[in-house]
Amino acid sequence: MTEEWNFDGLIGPTHNYAGIAAGNVASQSNKGAESNPQEAALEGLKKMRMLYDLGVPQGVLPPQPRPRLDWLRALGFSGDTETVLRDAAREGLLSKAYSASSMWSANAATISPSEDSQDGRVHLSAANLVSGLHRSLEARQTDRVLRAIFPGDRFVHHGPLPASRGLADEGAANHIRLHKDSASLQVFVYGDAQGATRFLPRQARGASEAIARRHRLKKERVLYLQQAVRAVDAGAFHNDVVSVGHEQFLLWHEDAFEDESAIEAIRSRFEDLVSWRVSRDELSLEDAVKTYLFNSQIVTTAAGPVLIAPSECEAHAGVKAVIERLRSEGLHEAHFVDVRQSMRNGGGPACLRLRVALTEEESHAVHSGIRFTPTLHDRLNEWVKTHYRDRLRPEDLLDPQLITESQAALETLAEILTLPPKLFDVNER
């Protein structure tokens, strides 16, 4: 028996709009806008609280140290800190070194529950995120954090796949696990550039295959599906922008998968599937990308499955009609959450969380300091209000004071989450 935890990425103090994410329409259209890191982090915490109140086990993944001055120096920038900041900004690299993108923890890793694996252990692969420079900076630190949070023999940490295009891996955002009783199916969704007219896909099939192999997944529990080229072209840079699965439920857009028989392929291996199909007449791909309906979270409550949708969905007539229909097909209810600061960078509720299905014994082995509780919520709210700015413009990244503030914030956070301070030192190995 496993229970699904949600690990949310705590939004970091340097959250900003740099317009640097390929294929991500929201990121590109908000380039250079003023961000509010404080509001962003509080929104994220409020969402965690909603999930906690619904009875979902909730954990917190700490933000990563930014800016990555060590990375800029490795790229040849030299001199005092001010000079490095100024020269890197001129080359368009400073915002990358400053990105708070680890908040989207759905991209942090792929994690397989012990019941799906031949050796009965939980397997974890931090994502290499090689499709974007700023995101590739996350891989090593994610791996370190996961090792600290999931210690001991029950957990097998593989580290990120080798950094190469053919093994490009964006973690659980392209991975759906369906599950009922003792049956389960892991669906790996990969991209293929052939026929693309606008954007390149980010997940390589070779990466998905390597993950299934290293995680020793039982063969009959694995399926590979290609993401529709038209979906990527419309701005669905991850599959979780056009489909979401939880337990036996799969909410998917008619244009999500390349192969028309994708759902039959799923059903042939997982007969309990409850398919919630949304046609393009009900909601166009463009509106799916705009509202992020498919980036909702589906969670189980005692009353039945609940949809946690972004507040952008609330006012959309087409989405409202879809939700109404789903309520007659087994959905218990929908809640709307305001994660607007993250949404402006293309990150909805489901992007902000990484799911981990754990048995009771495995749950006990998780580092307890990151477990979300009302007390932790209060402490983190206070911490955010003390350490975060309420506005950040592109030119503020040149202010060395922001480095000092961000470091102080993470030092205090290490204490709050009872994690070793050296975990936040990027020079530690």
Position among 7, 17, 190, 249 found at the interface with ligand SUG (CB under 6 A)? 17
Q: Annotate each residue in 168-187 with x if it binds ligand SUG (CB under 6 A) or - if it does not, as one string.
A: -----x--------------
Residue 18 touches ligand SUG, criterion: CB under 6 A: yes
Helix or strand or coil: residue 110? strand
CB of 376 to ligand SUG, least distance (A): 24
**Cβ 94 vs Cβ 134: under 8 Å:** no
Position among 238, 246, 253, 353 found at the interface with ligand SUG (CB under 6 A)? 238
Residue 125 touches ligand SUG, criterion: CB under 6 A: no
Residue 313 annotated in active site:
no
In the block, residue with structure tokens 């290609």: 226
Position among 6, 14, 64, 101 found at the interface with ligand SUG (CB under 6 A)? 101
Residue 27 touches ligand SUG, criterion: CB under 6 A: yes
| Contact stretch for ligand SUG (CB under 6 A) within 14-22, 86-94, 218-226, 385-393 | 14-22
Residue 12 touches ligand SUG, criterion: CB under 6 A: no
**Residues from 128 through 147 that contact ligand SUG (CB under 6 A):** 135
Neighbouring residues of 302: CB distance < 8 A, sequence distance ≥ 6: 55
CB atoms within 10 A of CB 124: 24
Residue 34 annotated in active site:
no
**Cβ 132 vs Cβ 20: under 8 Å:** yes
Q: Which is nearer to ligand SUG, 107 or 112 (CB)?
A: 107
Residue 247 annotated in active site:
no
CB of 239 to ligand SUG, least distance (A): 8
CB atoms within 10 A of CB 82: 11
Distance, in Å, from the CA atom of 333 to the CA atom of 53, rounded to the nearest integer, reads: 15
- List 15, 215, 238, 387, catalytic entry: 238
CB of 416 to ligand SUG, least distance (A): 25
Neighbouring residues of 145: CB distance < 8 A, sequence distance ≥ 6: 61, 62, 64, 423
Residue 305 touches ligand SUG, criterion: CB under 6 A: no
Q: Which residues of 235-269 are buried (b: 16+ CB within 10 A; e: fewer)?
A: bbbbbbbbbbbbbbbbbbbbbbbbeeebbebbeeb
**Cβ 93 vs Cβ 72: under 8 Å:** yes
Q: Interface residues with ligand SUG (CB under 6 A)? A: 16-21, 24, 27, 99, 101, 104, 106-107, 135, 173, 237-238, 240-241, 345-347, 351
